[in-house]
Amino acid sequence: MGTLGACRQEVGTPGQTEETPFVGESAGESTSITDLIANLKDSRNKEIIVVAHRGDWRNAPENSLQAIENCITMGVDMVEIDIRETKDGQLILMHDETVDRTTTGTGKVADLTWAYLQTLYLRDGIGHKTPHQIPTLKEALQLCKGNILVNLDKSYPIFDKCFNVIEETGTQEQVVIKGAIPYDRVKEEFGPYLDKVFFMPIIRLHEPHAKDIVDTYLDSLQPVAFEFTVPQDTLKMIEYFDDIRARGSSVWVNALWPRHNGGHDDEKAAMDPTVYDWFLDNHIDMIQTDRPKLLLEYLRDKNRHK
């Protein structure tokens, strides 16, 4: 796998981003899904995995097909989307419990029918109606298939149903599920799926038994990655990230909000991209962001992304 990492670096030249004058065109070399999966499985290489939160929600409605497509075009590695089930069993993309904020309709997803939801339009970031509509999980996975990894948030409690769609669309190898639960419980609740999709434990770094939970996982499941919540950048456990990667699991930290990363967040990085140095300096190799374009530019400059 180390070879792959080296190979990627040779291909990705630092000058690429500057030669790309137009919006919507990929600034990097096109990466096959095989490469993306191999990179996900390889915790030791230098290539950083960029995860876009709710898709490219700045330029298309969050959790819309267009927001996913923009990510694919940009060269994002993984898109995070939120899954909910309608009253009549349809699986759709929707972050909130209600459709009020992001669509032209109102009500709880769980109380609404798919027939009704299909009459709604998604809103943009300032609340205005767009021509985009609510996608189903199936549509989203069909779009992701062969193009981009996908993290299904909020899917854990409805995973049996989600997995049917994953199988149907043939996207098993591309799907990541996360949960803030210890190994014993995951094994019990999620056991049959553990060798079918990627399960990533979420660890709150400031909690007293964080290290024990991590070690148990490393000795048993050997997850593809851990997501760490890092409220303060002084936490001792941060020094453990390097070891965790050496032992075969990647380290995912969100750049989204200050409490995820001890204040080294996207909003700060928008003013000064060297804020992202903290992630590289601390051996973090998966970063979920609200600024995929900025982060990709930063990483490509550093030769840490194709």
Partner 1 sequence: MEKYLKCTFLLATLVMGSVLYGQADINPKENRAAMILEQLKNPSGDYILAVSHRGDWRHAPENSLPAIQRCIDLGVDIVEIDVRLTKDGHLVAMHDKTLDRTTDGKGKVRELTLDEIRAFRLKNACGVRGSRIPVPTLEEIMELTKDRIMVNLDKVEGETVREAYEILKKTGTVKQAIFKGRETVQAMRKKYGDLMDSIIYMPILIDNTKNPAQFVQDYNADLSPLAYEVTFDSEDSENFKQISKLREEGIFVLNIALWDDLVAGHTDEMSLLEGPDASWGWLVERGANGIMTDRPEELLIYLKQKGLRNP
Annotated catalytic, 53? yes
Partnered with residue 184 across adjacent β-strands are: none
Candidates 5, 9, 33, 58; binder of partner 1 (CB under 8 A) is 58
Binding segment for partner 1 (CB under 8 A), chosen from 42-50, 141-149, 205-213, 265-273, is 265-273
Task: Assess 13 for contact with partner 1 (CB under 8 A).
Answer: no
HEC assignment per residue over the chain: CHHHHHHHHHHCCHHHHHHCCCCCCCCCCCCCHHHHHHHHHCCCCCCCEEEEECCCCCCCCCCCHHHHHHHHHHCCCEEEEEEEECCCCCEEECCCCECCCCECCCCEHHHCCHHHHCCCCEECCCCCECCCCCCEHHHHHHHHCCCCEEEEECCHHHHHHHHHHHHHHCCHHHEEEEECCCHHHHHHHHHHHCCCCEEEEEEECCCCCHHHHHHHHHHCCCCCEEEEEECCCCCHHHHHHHHHHHCCCEEEEECCCHHHECCCCHHHHHHCHHHHHHHHHCCCCEEEECCHHHHHHHHHHCCCCC
In the complex with partner 1, the residue whose CB is nearer, 95 or 305, is: 95
**264 classed as catalytic:** no
For partner 1, the closer of residues 21 and 208 by Cβ is 21
Q: Does 82 bind partner 1 (CB under 8 A)?
A: no
* Of the residues 16, 57, 79, 305, which one makes contact with partner 1 according to CB under 8 A: 57
Residue 264 is a binding residue for partner 1 (CB under 8 A): no
In this chain, which stretch among 5-13, 15-23, 149-157, 202-210 interacts with partner 1, using CB under 8 A?
15-23
For residues 276 and 268, what is the distance between their CA atoms, to the nearest angstrom? 9
Please give the span between the terminal C-alpha atoms of the chain, in angstroms, as a whole number: 16
Complex with partner 1: residue 173 or 267, whichever CB lies closer: 267
The least distance separating partner 1 from the CB of residue 57, rounded to whole angstroms, comes to 5
In angstroms, give the least distance from the CB of 286 to partner 1.
Answer: 20
Binding partner 1 (rule: CB under 8 A), the pick from 9, 41, 59, 145 is: 59
The answer to whether residue 80 forms part of the interface with partner 1 (CB under 8 A) is no
Using CB under 8 A as the binding rule, whether residue 84 contacts partner 1 is answered as no
> In terms of Cα–Cα distance, which of 209, 299, 290 is closest to 254?
290
Which member of 15, 22, 188, 272 binds partner 1 (CB under 8 A)? 22
| Segment 89 to 108, residues that bind partner 1, using CB under 8 A | 95-96, 101
Near partner 1 by CB under 8 A, which window of 32-40, 212-220, 234-242, 254-262? 254-262
Which residues carry out catalysis?
53, 95
User: Which residues of the chain form contacts with partner 1 (CB under 8 A)?
Assistant: 17-18, 20-23, 27, 53-54, 57-59, 62, 95-96, 101, 124-131, 256-259, 265, 267, 270-271, 290, 293-294, 297
